[in-house]
Structure 1
Amino acid sequence: MDNKHRVLVVEDQHLLRVGLSHLVSELADYCIVGAASGGVEACHLAEKTRPDLILMDLSMPGGSGFEAIATIKRNVPHARIIVLTVHHSEDDVGDAFAAGADGYVVKDSPFADLVREMRFVMQGKCVVSLDAYRARAGLHGSRDPNAHNARLWSALTNRERTVLRLVVEGHTSRQVGECLKVSPKTVDKHRANLMRKLGIANLTGLVHFAIDIGVLALNDDDRV
Structure 2
Amino acid sequence: MTQKLRIMLAEDHTILRDGLRALLMLDAGIEVVGEVDNGLSALRSIGSLRPDLVLMDLSMPKMDGLAAIREIKRRHPEVKILALTVHKTEEYIRAALNAGADGYVLKDASKAELMAAIRATSAGRLYLTPAVSETIVHRYLNGSAVQVQSRSEVLSVREREVLKLIAEGYRNKEIATFLCVSAKTVEKHRANLMRKLDLHNVSALTTFAIENGLVAR
Fold shared per TM-score above 0.5: yes
Question: Structure 1: any 5+ residue segments left out of the alignment?
Answer: 138-142, 150-163, 169-193, 205-224
Q: Secondary structure at the match of 1:104?
A: strand
Measure how far apart 1:107 and its partner are.
0.5
Task: Identify the residue that residue 81 of structure 1 maps to in structure 2.
Answer: 81
| Structure 1 residues 50 and 202, CA gap change in structure 2 (3 angstroms) | farther
| Structure 1 residues 2 and 203, CA gap change in structure 2 (3 angstroms) | farther
Task: Identify the residue that residue 36 of structure 2 maps to in structure 1.
Answer: 36
- Looking at structure 1, the residues matched to 103 and 132 of structure 2 have their Cα atoms a distance apart, in angstroms, of 11
- Looking at structure 2, the residues matched to 39 and 47 of structure 1 have their Cα atoms a distance apart, in angstroms, of 14
| Structure 1 residues 108 and 200, CA gap change in structure 2 (3 angstroms) | closer
- Looking at structure 1, the residues matched to 2 and 74 of structure 2 have their Cα atoms a distance apart, in angstroms, of 24
2:67 matches 1:99: no
Would the aligned equivalents of 1:94 and 1:203 in 2 still touch at CA under 8 Å?
no
Q: What TM-score do you get using the length of structure 2 for normalisation?
A: 0.62
- Looking at structure 2, the residues matched to 4 and 71 of structure 1 have their Cα atoms a distance apart, in angstroms, of 25
Q: What TM-score do you get using the length of structure 1 for normalisation?
A: 0.60
Task: Identify the residue that residue 221 of structure 1 maps to in structure 2.
Answer: none
- Looking at structure 1, the residues matched to 145 and 114 of structure 2 have their Cα atoms a distance apart, in angstroms, of 30
- Looking at structure 2, the residues matched to 127 and 70 of structure 1 have their Cα atoms a distance apart, in angstroms, of 18
Letter of the structure 1 residue corresponding to residue 9 of structure 2 = V
Letter of the structure 1 residue corresponding to residue 103 of structure 2 = G
- Looking at structure 2, the residues matched to 104 and 57 of structure 1 have their Cα atoms a distance apart, in angstroms, of 10
Aligned-pair identity in percent equals 36
How big is each residue's C-alpha offset from its partner over 1:178-218, in whole Å with a ceiling of 9 and x where there is no partner? xxxxxxxxxxxxxxxx86xxx667599xxxxxxxxxxxxxx
Would the aligned equivalents of 1:57 and 1:83 in 2 still touch at CA under 8 Å?
yes
Q: Secondary structure at the match of 1:41?
A: helix
Letter of the structure 1 residue corresponding to residue 25 of structure 2 = S
Measure how far apart 1:2 and its partner are.
7.0
Task: Identify the residue that residue 55 of structure 1 maps to in structure 2.
Answer: 55
| Structure 1 residues 32 and 75, CA gap change in structure 2 (3 angstroms) | same
Would the aligned equivalents of 1:104 and 1:132 in 2 still touch at CA under 8 Å?
no
- Looking at structure 1, the residues matched to 94 and 42 of structure 2 have their Cα atoms a distance apart, in angstroms, of 21
How many pairs are equivalent?
149
Task: Identify the residue that residue 72 of structure 1 maps to in structure 2.
Answer: 72
Measure how far apart 1:57 and its partner are.
0.3
Would the aligned equivalents of 1:38 and 1:63 in 2 still touch at CA under 8 Å?
yes
Q: How does 1:206-221 map to 2 (within 5 A)?
A: none
2:123 matches 1:123: yes
- Looking at structure 2, the residues matched to 85 and 57 of structure 1 have their Cα atoms a distance apart, in angstroms, of 5
How big is each residue's C-alpha offset from its partner over 1:58-105, in whole Å with a ceiling of 9 and x where there is no partner? 010011110000111112211100000000111100000000000000
Would the aligned equivalents of 1:80 and 1:122 in 2 still touch at CA under 8 Å?
yes
Letter of the structure 2 residue corresponding to residue 82 of structure 1 = L
| Structure 1 residues 10 and 200, CA gap change in structure 2 (3 angstroms) | closer
| Structure 1 residues 2 and 8, CA gap change in structure 2 (3 angstroms) | farther
- Looking at structure 1, the residues matched to 145 and 131 of structure 2 have their Cα atoms a distance apart, in angstroms, of 24
| Structure 1 residues 200 and 12, CA gap change in structure 2 (3 angstroms) | closer
| Structure 1 residues 49 and 132, CA gap change in structure 2 (3 angstroms) | same
Letter of the structure 2 residue corresponding to residue 44 of structure 1 = R
Runs (4+) of structure 1 exceeding 3 A deviation are 199-204
- Alpha-carbon RMSD: 2.7
Q: Secondary structure at the match of 1:130?
A: coil
